[in-house]
Amino acid sequence: MSQTLKAVRGTRDLLPPETDLWNRIEATARQVFARYNFGEIRTPIFEDTSLFARSVGEETDIVSKEMYSWEDRARAQSEKAQSLTLRPENTAGVVRAYIEHKLGERGQLQKLYYIGPQFRRERPQKGRYRQFWQIGAEVIGPPSSGSESPLRDAEVLEMLATLLDELGITGWTLELNSIGSAADRAHYNETLRAALAPLAPKMCTDCQRRAVTNPLRVLDCKVPEDQPVIATLPVIADSLSEDAKAHFAAVLAALDAAQVPYKLNHRLVRGLDYYTRTTFEFTHGGLGAQNALLGGGRYDGLSEALGGPKAPGIGFAMGLDRLVLTLQAAAQSSPLEKADAYIAPLGENLNAAALTLARELRRAGLRVELGDGSFRLKKSFEFAERAARRIVILGDDELESGNLTVKDFASGVQTKVPRKELVARLRS
């Protein structure tokens, strides 16, 4: 017997009725983004590998061990093979598109959102998949468009608080930090390197490596035994320049004024190299170990690092899979939404007439399930009761008289309804 095929580890099928919830979340996000005057961008699902190496950073977990990359063979002798990668995140693609299409020359701030799958070869667990979905947005533009203003940071954070509230997600926490300019971060990295030198040998092997290659990443370590050591390390707030401190203070002041609650977390440095100044995460207690609903931050030098013009920006990515988990946990179970009517033809000779009736009702905007004339009446009733609020019986009598038999399952009442009145009755 041949082996049955299954979805690849870390990927999954999304099925109804759960997909209704996915669609509802996406629709709410689109509405909220529209109110903040964002437009949608769709970038390719794969990009040149060097895009991620140059933006996310060679030393990050994502680039060093989690990317799905392959050599795309040259098709002609004159062509070179190209290393391609399934996108592990979407900011790099958006900034590449910003540069490629010279969006900065449009003068205003570019406010772009995206919804789509991302790919990382991580160890699968609840809330962590190898193909997962992100809803994200970026605010980016030349400095003259106001892209560096702390108001942009505060506006993005206020929008996220509004979006989570409108999705019905309660109990979120906004954790906030500033990691300063690239120079501040380099300075802090050296401070950490010195502090870690005597401590690293007692830490996990990842931290021993990070202590040399990229000390900032030590703060991301989740190994419980390392936490007391990490708690003694110098904090980044002490390495910030006056500029970065003032920028962060202005972000906090705007959030205070708008009454968006937050918690400062000086260990929040985030897993991607391109961040500068404001970094943030929204967490949720109900998610367990993978408790980040979303993360983001400012990336003032990213465009230049990719060969583009100066274009400060700020953005975020939220995990759609995790939003779904949070809402499912809160709602217990979501009942299957029922169709308005189930049409039961009594005999196969009535199938064509049943299709015509279904077409009429569906074109009138009703949600209709169509049975089959080969079913016995009892079976039609069983199927109908599971799928719809009412059954419409179509027999030879009904077809001739133009009066259809309709049974409402909630009330148990069965009546004859003239065809002309059927749409109105089924809508009620």
Give bridge partners of residue 264 from the DSSP assignment.
176
Choice between 185 and 270, CB closer to ligand AMP: 270
Residue selected from 154, 229, 317, 324 as contacting ligand AMP according to rule CB under 6 A? 317
What DSSP state is assigned to residue 8?
Answer: P
Residue-wise over 154-166: b if at least 16 C-beta within 10 A, else e?
Answer: bbbbbbbbebbee
Distance in angstroms (rounded) separating the CA atoms of residues 192 and 339: 61
Residue nearest to ligand AMP according to CB distances in the complex:
319
State how far the alpha carbon of 357 is from the alpha carbons of 32, 284, 339, 361, 369, in Å.
Answer: 38, 48, 15, 6, 11
Rounded Cα distance, 406 and 408, in Å: 7
Q: With binding defined as CB under 6 A, does residue 56 bind ligand AMP? A: no
One residue of 72, 122, 158, 175 binding ligand AMP per CB under 6 A: 122
Residues β-bridged to residue 110: 140
Nearest distance, CB of residue 269 and ligand AMP, angstroms: 12
Residue 148 CB, nearest distance to ligand AMP (Å)? 22
One of 93, 319, 371, 373 touching ligand AMP (CB under 6 A): 319
Select from 279, 316, 319, 306 the least CA-distant residue to 112: 316
| One-letter identity of residue 334 | S
Identify which of residues 55 and 181 has a Cβ nearer to ligand AMP in the complex: 55
Size of site (CB under 6 A) for ligand AMP: 18
For ligand AMP, the closer CB: 111 or 322: 322
Q: Does 315 bind ligand AMP (CB under 6 A)?
A: no
CB of 65 to ligand AMP, least distance (A): 13
Binding string, 271-300, against ligand AMP, x = CB under 6 A?
Answer: x--------------------xxxx-----
> Nearer Cβ to ligand AMP, position 121 or 367?
121
Alpha-carbon span 74 to 56, nearest angstrom: 26
Packing angle of the helix pair 150-167, 18-35 (nearest 10 deg): 150
The residues of the shown chain that bind ligand AMP, judged by CB under 6 A, are: 89, 120, 122, 127-129, 132, 134, 271, 292-295, 317-319, 321-322
